[in-house]
Amino acid sequence: MRADRLVAALLLMQSRGRVTAAEVATELEVSVATARRDLEALSAAGIPVYPQQGRGGGWTLLGGARTDLSGLTSAEAQALFLLVGPAAAVAPEAKAALRKLVRALPGPFRDEAEAAADAVVIDPARWGEPGRERPPLVAELQTAVVRRRKVRLVYVDRLRNRSERVVDPWGLVDKDDVWYLVAGTEAGQRTFRVERIAEAVLTDTPSQRPADFALAEAWEQVVEQMEQRRGLVEATLLTDARYVRVLRDQHGRHFAEDGVAGDGRVRVRIAAPTPLMVAQHLAGWGALVEVLGPASVQAELARLGAELVRRYAPGQESIQEKPAMPSDEPVPPPGS
């Protein structure tokens, strides 16, 4: 769902007062179903957009037709910017749309709208399992970021140790359904895994945020630091072009294409914290991939293959061996 399309749909309603999904689809050159989903997304985000049934119905922006955004309340402006903001990190047209929206807002709303636009970053590259439920504290922390208020946290780390601290909430990151809070503390910038926050209390004390802070850039630094600490092992392999997309989806930022080999197969590189973990990712691919190196990954694949042959080959007795486990666990993000 493109941020610029949502903004265009909103401005179209402001200029006409009432529109149908078909009219929006025609104006934005999308399908009627896509236009309807965009209108529903605006309504779900808290923008006063409502459908009217029956003959002469359509979608209406509460308050009638307007030519600018001055009719939005503070909460409604925040809702719009929270919806559009994450896309601006990767879409230049969304950034331009947000700048225009900020200029169109009345002065009292501009600071909070700008804060909302930079309150959330979406990073789709995987670290953990997808499909997690959004932690209930995300909404409260998001409010703290937008209103720029300090938060008192009770945090439980990986070893189940509980600690209490007051932080300056700077932004939230949704990394493949795993949420993180980037915050300022007495010890400097820290990253907290939201699902490990046992309690979060919004205070009345204004929070401090560096004037040059940019959430997307700060998160990139967090990711780079983590990757360096994990000491990734990189493997090079060959596979048919039709499998490249699947490998890319599986490995996210730990995947890179590296040209085409003489036989037409694509050369790719993937990475994981240990040779064994690389081998475990690739073992299920069988002959669909050819691992060129390093030797440590090839050795782990050979060992895993031998274990499977001993256990499952016809005529072989099932040997109850304990499966090999990684010698070291991936290092979690700072503050987790």
> Domain for residue 262, yes or no?
yes
Residues 135 and 67 in one domain: no
Q: Is residue 329 part of a domain?
A: no
Same domain (yes/no): 158, 53: no
In a domain, 319, yes or no: no
Same domain, 13 and 112: yes
CATH of the domain at 242: 3.30.70
pLDDT at 320 over 60: no
Same domain (yes/no): 81, 136: no
Examine the domain organization and report whether 203 and 252 are in the same domain. Answer: no
| Domain end marker among 206, 228, 250 | 228
Q: Which domain holds residue 270?
A: 231-312
Residue 10 pLDDT class (50, 70, 90 cuts): confident
136 in the same domain as 74 = no
Token reading at 189: 């910038």
Shared-domain flag, residues 255 and 307: yes
Q: Is residue 52 part of a domain?
A: yes
- pLDDT tens profile 163-177: 999 999 998 888 767
**Residue of higher predicted confidence among 211 and 72:** 211
Domain count, the chain: 3
Is 93 within the bounds of a domain? yes
Mean pLDDT in residue range 102-106: 56
Q: Do residue 292 and residue 272 come from a single domain?
A: yes
Predicted TM-score of the model (pTM): 0.45
Domain stop point among 98, 117, 136: 117
**173 shares its domain with 207:** yes
pLDDT tens digits, one per residue of 212-261: 888 888 888 888 777 666 657 899 999 999 999 999 888 887 889 999 99
Is the residue at 87 inside a domain?
A: yes
Domain contains 264? yes
| Of 289 and 64, the one with more pLDDT | 289
